[in-house]
Amino acid sequence: MRFVVVTGMSGAGKRTAMKMLEDVGFYCVDNLPVPLIEKFVELIWNNQGEIDNVALGLDVRSDQNFSDATDSLGKLQGNGYSFETIFMDASDETLIKRYKETRRRHPLQTKQVRLEDGIKKEREILAAVKTSADYVFDTTHLLTQSLKDEIDKIFVSDQEFNSLMVDIVSFGFKNGIPTDADLVFDVRFLPNPYYVEELKHRTGNESDVQEYVMQSGEGEEFLNKLEDMLSFLIPGYVKSGKHQLVIAIGCTGGHHRSVTIANRLSERLNGKGNYGLNLIHRDISR
């Protein structure tokens, strides 16, 4: 039997992950009362053959102590019941934005506790669970399809999990540096298509714009040096247990040079190591 516990930050995509597991054949149960967890697992285990894959969703609720849930799981593990843990995460800024867009209330938010404080408290409660999780998915930039692909790799194809997700983000400095960026590179030294009338209103996703940006040879030299540096850094990040690396590539507006370099860097890194890869053009439609 494959038994999976799905938990993480509220608003980070736990329900989406549960739905994806259900789609690949898991029997999914969400938010059982804590006193029922041990009995549920025992019943499921005793009925192997009828149900072979089970996912149990757990999250922080104001009406129950999350440590009681983890204690129950610890007792089960001690009694020989093995399970894997998926932890869903996202940046505080992303979680705040999602809650404000949906107008939902955070489970730890009250009249006396602001949304930001509820998220902070939840992160403190879940810190140990995240550290010990088998799989951590940061959905700050992770597309739904990319999450599905990773879940399929792990639970359908039994492939090795990419513990590090590398996000390559193009942006415009005039719109601000991405707040979650780990590494920031300025490519405003490259030829700017903005001053060419026929290229001004196009983007770095188009070949003519890319050729213009790369014409001097400096773009290729920059990419060579950047790829060499990342080939040194990324294995270290993987080894240290880092789950997300955001590489931000910036130009003035985020339409031409940064998009071109982000695209070329993504092509170079794709399939090069044991990590997932996302390409995001943050400001391309602004």
Q: Domain residue spans in the chain?
A: 2-155, 165-281
Mean pLDDT estimate for the chain:
91
Mean pLDDT score, 31-35: 83
pLDDT tens readout for residues 210-267 = 999 999 999 999 999 999 999 999 999 988 878 889 999 999 999 999 999 999 999 9
What is the reported pLDDT for 52?
A: 84
Mean pLDDT score, 56-83: 83
What is the pLDDT confidence band of residue 135, given thresholds at 50, 70 and 90? very high
What is the reported pLDDT for 63?
A: 55
**Topology (CATH level 3) of domain 2-155:** Rossmann fold (3.40.50)
Q: List the structure tokens of 223.
A: 């990419």
Listed in sequence order, the DSSP H helices in the chain are 14-23, 34-45, 66-78, 92-102, 115-132, 144-155, 207-214, 218-240, 257-269
Q: Which residue has the higher pLDDT, 49 or 106?
A: 106
Of 26-35, 56-65, 80-89, 275-284, the poorest mean pLDDT is in: 56-65
CB within 8 Å of 87: residues ≥ 6 apart: 7, 8, 126, 129, 130, 133, 135, 136, 137
What is the reported pLDDT for 275?
A: 84
Q: Is the pLDDT of residue 62 over 60?
A: no
Entry pTM: 0.76
Q: Is the pLDDT of residue 143 over 90?
A: no
What is the reported pLDDT for 242?
A: 83
Mean pLDDT score, 167-183: 95
